[in-house]
Structure 1
Amino acid sequence: MKLTLGGTPMVRSLTRIAAALALLLSTAVIGLVGTAAPASADGCYTWSRTLAQGSSGSDVRQLQIRVSGYPAYGAVLALDGSYGPATKAAVKRFQQAYGLTADGIAGPQTYSKLYALQDNDCTPANFSYGELNRCNSSWSGGAVSASTAKANALVTMWKLQALRHALGDRAIYVNSGFRSYSCNSAVGGSSNSRHLYGDAADLAAGSHGFCTIAKRARYHGFNMILGPGYPNHNDHVHLAAPSSRYWSASTCGI
């Protein structure tokens, strides 16, 4: 259960923490990342093998979702289940961000950090489905199916988690996420708003400032960044993931 929105959770699962510590101890004994199956350590998803460039499968895609916020400046990581050079580079950036051995190989140390970062519903520790959907709990009525909208929101949350970490692990506040057509109309959203797809989030400035958020978001997998200087966006930063890039925040030099 999360007790804050985008901030520091006040309650953590003792079971998950104990399991993660056990995994770290086993890693210390092994000494090197090997091919042995990592121990089960999370109620959401557990990887059963070490992954590296050349691997493929649904477990690779699960990894890609969680490192989707580390694709480098202006890039977006494909969630295709194929562990290619871009995935290796994203894993390496994730490892560097958290002080792990940065070899681009996903093994026990990397999984241990991911287990510590995610809750049992697979959302990252500092964001929740409720935070990304204040429209309706069914995720229906948008431009895509409810399951797709919810899946898109999950990827967005992992990108926001990466952005939050890059900004010093200080809280990021989401004002708006998924919208059905009726919710979108009620707030005066554009007819083709990315909020209808579940992959958009409007952020308040919080302690960071709009331009700080907008500039940093360029490194964390967002194809759409709209902020101060773009019409009707002086009071928030809009981040989304359409198929092509569109960045506009002229006040911030974007």
Structure 2
Amino acid sequence: MAARAARTILAFFMIVSGFTAGVLATAGTAHADGCYTWSRTLSEGSSGADVTQLQIRLGGYPGYGSVLAVDGRFGPATTAALKRFQSAYGLTADGIAGAATYSKLYALQDDDCTPVHFSYGELNDCNTTWSGGAVDAATAKANALRTMWKLEALRHALGDQPITVTSGFRSRACNDAVGGASDSRHLYGDAADLGAGPHSLCTLARQARNHGFNGILGPGYPGHDDHTHLDHRGSRFWSAPACGV
């Protein structure tokens, strides 16, 4: 918590410094973040690993029914996603990733690169090694990280109230034990089941359409009346008939 508070204070300082020193068009003074540090301004036409890191964090802002590619190439879709992110947090929506954008991202992430309101433990109700699924452990864990950033966007859009994750990654053994489908996306680490809380299951299913999930299953779909399921399957399949989804 102390590290998170320190990053939040530093983020505020960087934003203020940017306005007073006129450096918002650049990445600003070098800053060592516990997770990842951007060292240059990014905009349409940029490419590289730093663009990939940005895209992971913008994954929840692709627009209705869309999915943002994580390919290291800053194209029009990344520009649009960045503008939505900037607008969501009260920043100038110019589609350029500079000091103000990075400051907000630093404040939103913990030292292990997870967003502040979610953790790897929440997205893994099976084992700590992320092994035994349909993909290798590193891929499953990377998929879970992308899911968490989409959930962070969903959470923010719904007023920053808590979202309860009831199931995440499963090995084949864990999936069989709970009666999961043989081709469940939980085996890939890119699925999350959400329980009702401050928001109804239908509210979660409807809002998720804006945050990069190809798979949305909820009330009215067989076996999903007690949770809303979100995933990154290869093509869109939304079915929550009781919610109009």
| Range into which the TM-score falls when normalised by the shorter chain | over 0.9
Give, in angstroms, the shift of residue 12 of structure 1.
5.1
Alpha carbons of 1:29 and 1:88: their partners in 2 closer, same or farther (altered >3 Å)?
Answer: same
| CA distances 1:197-241 after superposition (whole Å, capped 9, x unpaired) | 000000001110011000000000000000000000000000000
* 1:81-230 paired onto structure 2 within 5 Å: 81-230=72-221
| Residue 48, structure 1, aligned to residue 39, structure 2 | yes
Paired with 1:64 and 1:36, the residues of 2 have a C-alpha distance of: 17
Give, in angstroms, the shift of residue 28 of structure 1.
2.0
Paired with 2:206 and 2:155, the residues of 1 have a C-alpha distance of: 13
Question: 1:173 touches 1:206 (CA, 8 Å); kept in 2?
Answer: yes
What SS does the corresponding residue of 1:203 show, helix, strand or coil?
strand
The residue type equivalent to 1:204 in the other structure is G
Judge which range, 26-35 or 140-149, deviates more: 26-35
The residue type equivalent to 1:172 in the other structure is I
Paired with 2:219 and 2:64, the residues of 1 have a C-alpha distance of: 20
Which residue is 1:250 aligned to?
A: 241
* 1:2-13 paired onto structure 2 within 5 Å: 13=4
Q: CA RMSD in A?
A: 1.3
5+ long unaligned stretches in structure 2: none
Aligned residues with identical type, % of pairs: 68
Paired with 1:120 and 1:36, the residues of 2 have a C-alpha distance of: 20
What SS does the corresponding residue of 1:130 show, helix, strand or coil?
coil
Show structure 1 runs of 4+ deviating over 4 A: none
Question: 1:20 touches 1:41 (CA, 8 Å); kept in 2?
Answer: no
Calculate the TM-score normalised by the size of structure 2: 0.97
Which residue is 1:62 aligned to?
A: 53
| Residue 33, structure 1, aligned to residue 24, structure 2 | yes
Paired with 2:142 and 2:228, the residues of 1 have a C-alpha distance of: 22
The residue type equivalent to 2:153 in the other structure is A
The residue type equivalent to 1:91 in the other structure is L
Question: 1:49 touches 1:107 (CA, 8 Å); kept in 2?
Answer: yes
Paired with 1:125 and 1:147, the residues of 2 have a C-alpha distance of: 21
Alpha carbons of 1:222 and 1:201: their partners in 2 closer, same or farther (altered >3 Å)?
Answer: same
Give, in angstroms, the shift of residue 55 of structure 1.
0.3
Calculate the TM-score normalised by the size of structure 1: 0.93
Paired with 2:81 and 2:147, the residues of 1 have a C-alpha distance of: 16
Give, in angstroms, the shift of residue 41 of structure 1.
4.8
